[in-house]
Amino acid sequence: MKTKKFLTIGILPLMWIAYFIFELISGRITNSEIFIGNVFLTLLFALVGIFIYNFTKKHEYGLNTKTLYLLFFILLILDQGVKLIIKLFFFKDYYGFFDEFLSFNPIINTKGSWLNARFGVGISFPTLIVLNLIALFLFLEVYRYYRSKDNRDIYSDLSIIFVFTGALCSLIDKVFYGGSLDFIGVGDLFIADLKDIYINLGIFFLILCLYNSGFFQEEDNTSLKDDAKNLKNFAIFIKDDVKSGFKKNSTT
C-alpha cells in the first residue's frame, strides 16, 4: 500500500523532472525563472498525485459504465469547447502569468505532433491521421481484452478514458484545424493543450495499472513462445470482437 501511495504521488513529478532534465541538458532552460517555475510545477504535480491517490482509493474497483461515458464526454467537450471558444474569440490574444513562465498563447501547431515539432521527425499529416485511427482502435481493444480477463480497477478505467479522449481530440484537431490548437505556454519550452494533459495522465494511470496488476513484480520470465501465444490470443480476441460488433450492427 505504501508503495502504491508513493507511486501515485510521485510518478507525475518524476515524469516532469525527467522532461525537465532533458531540456536542461539540451540547453533550452537558460534562466532562473524557468528553473524555479519548473520546481513549482513539480510540486503542483505532487499535489495532483495526492488528490488522485485519495480518489482512486475510494474507487479501487473502477467506475460504472455510465460514469465512464459521462467522464469521456466531459473531457471531450471541455477540450473541444475551449478550443472552439478560443478560435472564435481569443485566437489573437496573449496573456502572460508568473513573469511569463506560463502563458495563454494560442497557435495552430501544423506539425501535427510533439515529435515533429520538437525533433523535426517529419511524419506526414495523412500518416499521423492513420496512426491516430489505429491508436484509437488499439487502445479500445487492449482495454476490452484486459476487462475480458476479469480485470477491473480504477487505473485501467482512467487510463483508457484519458488516453482515448486525448487521441480522439488529437484526431479532431487534425481534421478540423489542420493541426493542434495549442494555447498553454510553458516558458520557451512548449505550447500544449488539454489533450496533451489527458494523454500524459493516461500514461500515468497505465503505469499504475501495470503495477497494480503485478506486471512489474512478475518473477517468472515468459519465453518468446509464450509472448507469441499471448499476442496470438489478443489478435484472436480483436477478430472476434470486431465480428461481434458487425453482427450487432447488422441486427439493429
Same domain? 51 vs 70: no
Average confidence score pLDDT of the chain: 89
Which of 43, 58, 73 is the C-terminal boundary of a domain? 58
pLDDT average, residue stretch 10-29: 91
Q: How many domains does the chain have?
A: 2
Domain range holding 134? 62-216
Q: What gap in Å lies between CA 120 and CA 155, rounded to an integer?
A: 33
Q: How confident is the model at residue 226 (pLDDT cuts 50, 70, 90)?
A: confident
Q: What gap in Å lies between CA 193 and CA 78, rounded to an integer?
A: 11
**Helix, strand, or coil (residue 95):** strand
**Helix, strand, or coil (residue 122):** coil
Digit-coded pLDDT (tens) for 54-86: 999 999 999 999 999 999 999 999 999 999 999
Q: Above 60 in pLDDT, residue 15?
A: yes
Same domain? 199 vs 92: yes
Surface-to-core class of residue 24, CB atoms within 10 Å of its CB (0-12 exposed, 13-18 middle, 19+ buried): middle
Same domain? 69 vs 117: yes
pLDDT average, residue stretch 161-182: 93
pLDDT average, residue stretch 106-124: 77
Contact, 103 vs 94, CB < 8 A? yes
Which of 58, 79, 98 is the C-terminal boundary of a domain? 58
Q: How confident is the model at residue 178 (pLDDT cuts 50, 70, 90)?
A: confident
pLDDT average, residue stretch 155-168: 95
Same domain? 51 vs 73: no
Q: What gap in Å lies between CA 125 and CA 9, rounded to an integer?
A: 36
Work out the percent of the chain whose per-residue pLDDT is above 90: 58
Walk across the sheet containing 190-192 and list its strands.
95-97, 102-109, 180-186, 190-192
DSSP state of 29: -
pLDDT average, residue stretch 212-237: 78
* Residue 95, in any domain of the structure: yes
